[in-house]
A = this chain, B = another copy of it.
Amino acid sequence: MYKNAATPVAVLGASGYVGRELLGLLDGHPDVTLAFASSESESRLDGHDLIPLAEAEARWDEARLVFSCLPHGVSAPVVARAEAAGARVVDLSADLRLSDRAVYGLTEVYRHALPEADVVANPGCYPTASVLSVLPFARSGVIDVTRPLIIDAASGVSGAGRSPRRDLLFGEVAEDFRAYSAGNEHRHLPEITRQLSAVAGALDVVFTPHLLPVRRGILATIHVPLTRELSRGEAEAILLEAYTHEPCIRVLRDALPTLKDVIYRNRLALGVAPVKHVSRPMLTVVGAIDNLVKGAAGQAVQNMNVMCGFPETRGLSC
């Protein structure tokens, strides 16, 4: 596609699952052009030459905006150098998500701060699904913070990256299912708790991720303790009121989302079920996203769109 006066962008760490997804989205984006992309392990991808990071660091001036898909720990200092060199950055690593150095790029929540942002910390995949699913109830004041909010979430293997690991071999993952980081050991917990507590006040969250034998997608089943009974219609109304104008959020009526509703899309799909046969009110909320799109590369593009003044869903299928 011929791109007139397109904004030059760069991608660091382009050969992982997230980087590749991002390259694909940028290729189809009418308002940007790829200045350069880096990888340490591959030199060519989908028609693009990839250069080592060391080489990329000499070329910050070629890119107006830099996406970092570098590993956690590696990313932060590179982001700092890119920023110092005058580039705006969307950091897809976890490095800056709990820091004040960056705007937290949960687009639907921090949209207002993005146009002025120099550095945006793109949220984790689990936090994106979890926080957006619960936030409308937190804002409505219906969450009973004296009881824990339980999140059991399951992700496709692309969430674990593309490095060769025995436990991610097809022969190990197919026909299997497992919990991991149980007992609130997962890195994404503070990200979730921070965002929810900012609105609902301090509350206990129990977050248990699982590994699914699928390639992409996250489903979060969230049990929300309530201060009062909500019918299915009332709960849906709270979500619909919060999200009716959101192009990337779909609230289902009388139904729960599945991965099929969201994969390959920059979309969160949401559904609810009031819990019967319990003595104190609870609501089960189910949220689904594609971990590589709304959970990573797609939301990064959505953030870039707002940062750069492009239409928010440009280049995205929502």
Contacts and interface: CB of A to CB of B under 8 A. Distances in A.
A206 B170 contact: no
Contacts of A189: 277
A241 interface: no
A77 interface: no
Interface stretch (A52-60, A106-114, A132-140, A172-180): A172-180
Interface in A167-203: 168-180, 182-185, 189, 193
- Copy number in the complex reads 4
Nearest to A256: B179
A27 to B, nearest CB: 10
Contacts of A172: 170, 260
Contact of A170 (B170, B183, B185, B210): B170
Given A157-B169, A174-B170, A208 B221 contact: yes
A260 to B, nearest CB: 5
A223 interface: yes
Contact of A165 (B164, B174, B183, B223): B164
Contact of A278 (B152, B164, B204): B204
Given A214-B176, A277-B189, A148 B206 contact: no
A171 B278 contact: no
A183 B273 contact: yes
Given A169-B170, A282-B148, A175 B276 contact: no
22 contacts: A147-B147, A148-B223, A148-B282, A162-B171, A163-B166, A164-B166, A170-B174, A170-B215, A171-B215, A174-B214, A175-B263, A176-B260, A177-B217, A178-B219, A179-B284, A182-B256, A182-B286, A204-B279, A208-B221, A213-B213, A213-B214, A264-B264
Given A174-B174, A175-B215, A183-B276, 6 more contacts: A168-B171, A169-B169, A169-B170, A182-B273, A183-B274, A204-B277
Interface of A: 17, 147-148, 150, 152, 154, 156-158, 162-166, 168-180, 182-185, 189, 193, 204-206, 208, 210, 212-217, 219, 221, 223, 256-260, 263-264, 273-280, 282, 284, 286
